[in-house]
Amino acid sequence: MLYWTLLFVAVAFAAGVLGFGGVAAGAAGMAKILCVGLLIYVALGAASRALRPAG
């Protein structure tokens, strides 16, 4: 998921530099959604790891 987030950030940056504002906004929005999803996934994984009984 991190790969896709970074890919969309790169697309947004490239589109912004080339003057494609609509594409840049769409790619940035998708990157934001993926980043939030990644953070939730990591937080849930850390919480489940911390709550798992030892052994």
Distance CA 18, CA 50 (A): 46
Q: State whether residue 20 is helix, strand or coil.
A: coil
For the chain, the domain total comes to 1
The domain of 9 spans 2-47
Indicate whether 54 belongs to any domain. Answer: no
Whether residue 44 is predicted with pLDDT greater than 70 in this model: the reply is yes
Give the pLDDT score at 2: 86
55 falls in which pLDDT band (50, 70, 90)? Answer: low
Indicate whether 53 belongs to any domain. Answer: no
Whether residue 51 is predicted with pLDDT greater than 70 in this model: the reply is yes
**Model pTM?**
0.78
Indicate whether 55 belongs to any domain. Answer: no
* 30-37 long-range contacts, CB within 8 A, separation 24+: 31/5, 31/6, 34/1, 34/4, 34/5, 34/8, 35/5, 37/1
pLDDT digits (tens, 9 = 90+) for 3-43: 998 999 999 999 999 999 999 999 999 999 999 999 999 99
